[in-house]
Structure 1
Amino acid sequence: MPPKRITFITGNENKLKEVKMILSTGPSTEKDETPFELVNLPLDLDEIQEIDLEAIAIHKCKQAAQKVDKGNAVFVEDTALRFDAFNGLPGAYIKWFLKSLGLEKIVKMLEPYENKGAQAVTTIAYADENGEFHTFQGITEGIIVDSRGPTDFGWDSIFQPLESGGKTYAEMNKTNKNLISHRGRAFEKFKSHLYNN
Structure 2
Amino acid sequence: MPQTLLFITGNANKLSVGSCRIAEPRFLDLPESQGSVEEVLTEKCRRATDIVGGPVLVDDTALGFNALKELPGVYIKKLEVLISLKRYFDKAAEAICTFVYCEGPGKRGFAVSVKTKGRIVPARGPGDFGWDAVFVV
CA contact (8 A) 1:11 1:40 kept: no
From the two aligned structures, give the one with the greater strand fraction: 2
Question: Structure 1: how far apart are the matches of 2:109 and 2:86?
Answer: 40
Residue 38 of structure 2 is aligned to residue 63 of structure 1: no
Shift of 1:54: 1.4
| Partner residue, 1:113 | 88
How many residue pairs end up in the alignment?
135
Structure 2 letter corresponding to 1:149:
G
5+ long unaligned stretches in structure 2:
none
Residue 12 of structure 2 is aligned to residue 13 of structure 1: yes
Residue 38 of structure 2 is aligned to residue 54 of structure 1: yes
Residue 116 of structure 2 is aligned to residue 140 of structure 1: yes
CA contact (8 A) 2:8 2:58 kept: yes
Question: Structure 1: how far apart are the matches of 2:103 and 2:70?
Answer: 30
Shift of 1:129: 5.0
Structure 1 letter corresponding to 2:126:
P
Residues 2-22 of structure 1, C-alpha deviations (whole Å, 9 max, x = no match) = x741111114233123323xx
Residue 124 of structure 2 is aligned to residue 124 of structure 1: no
SS in 2 for 1:18: coil
SS in 1 for 2:56: strand
- Compared with structure 1, are the counterparts of its residues 133 and 45 closer, same or farther at alpha carbon in structure 2 (3 Å cutoff)? same
Structure 2 letter corresponding to 1:5:
T
Residue 77 of structure 2 is aligned to residue 95 of structure 1: yes
Shift of 1:140: 0.6
**RMSD of aligned alpha carbons:** 2.1
Question: Structure 2: how far apart are the matches of 1:119 and 1:132?
Answer: 27
Question: Structure 2: how far apart are the matches of 1:86 and 1:109?
Answer: 9
Question: Structure 1: how far apart are the matches of 2:83 and 2:31?
Answer: 30
5+ long unaligned stretches in structure 1:
25-37, 162-197
